[in-house]
Amino acid sequence: MTDWTRRSFLAAAGVGLAACTSQPSIPESPRERIDRQVDEALAELYQTVPGASELGARSQGILVIPKIRKAGFFASGAYGEGALVIGPAKVEYYSLSSAGLGFTFGAAEYNQTLFFLTSQALQDFRLADGWELGADAAVTVPKAGGAAAGISSMRINRPIVEVVYGQRGLIADASFAGAKYSRIIR
């Protein structure tokens, strides 16, 4: 048996007291992280892109992929994870992966939202095993500070509308890339 000195007793009591009074930080689960980032990205979209909230109200479903990271040095790659939102619920989780070959230098981060305007487009997306954004989508990239930075209802004649926003970083890109969306378990 060891002898307890006054100093070792006070040290042990201090450690025990600190353990009792401090709250352990509970790490965020991958699902909670994605949910939080999707909510933040949707709020940013609706605040910064005129017409986005009306488009969201018309949509059958919205796929939000926040914080897509893209980097390249001749060959490029991008990856992000997000959620499919139907009504108020996040119903499924998806990843976006992309690879390209061409003139690409730098790194960037951006958000992407796909608005499914018809139930058939949403169903085709949900039933596909690895879905690629095709020619039936309209792409909108808001310009910072411009009057044409909104989504015009005159341009929406496709079943899927893609909006890319919240760009951060610098990348020079003239590459050919394919993006694939895959369902993930979170």
**In-domain check, residue 151:** yes
Rounded to 10 degrees, what is the CA torsion of 174, 160, 186, 37?
70
Q: pLDDT (tens digit, 9 = 90+) per residue, 123-150?
A: 999 998 777 765 445 555 555 543 334 5
Does some domain include residue 139?
Answer: yes
Average pLDDT, the chain: 79
pLDDT of residue 154: 41
Q: What are phi and psi of 102, to 5 degrees?
A: 155, -155
Number of domains present in the structure of the chain: 1
116 within 8 A of 56, measured Cβ to Cβ: no
In a domain, 6, yes or no: no
Does residue 17 fall inside a structural domain?
no
Give the domain range for residue 53: 28-184
Residue 12: inside a domain, yes or no? Answer: no
* 8 pLDDT higher than 70: no
Give the pLDDT score at 104.
77
Higher pLDDT among residues 77 and 15, named by residue? 77
Pairwise pLDDT comparison (42 vs 173), residue with the higher score: 42
Cβ burial of 135 (10 Å; 0-12, 13-18, 19+) is exposed
Residue 184's pLDDT is what? 92
Which of 52-61, 70-79, 82-91, 148-157 has the least mean pLDDT?
148-157
Residue 19 placed within a domain:
no
More confidently predicted of 151 and 9: 151
The pLDDT value given to residue 67: 95
| pLDDT tens digits, 70-84 | 888 888 889 999 999
- The reported pLDDT for the residue numbered 145 is 41
**Cα end-to-end distance, the chain, whole Å:** 50
Give the lowest-confidence range in 61-70, 94-103, 109-118: 94-103
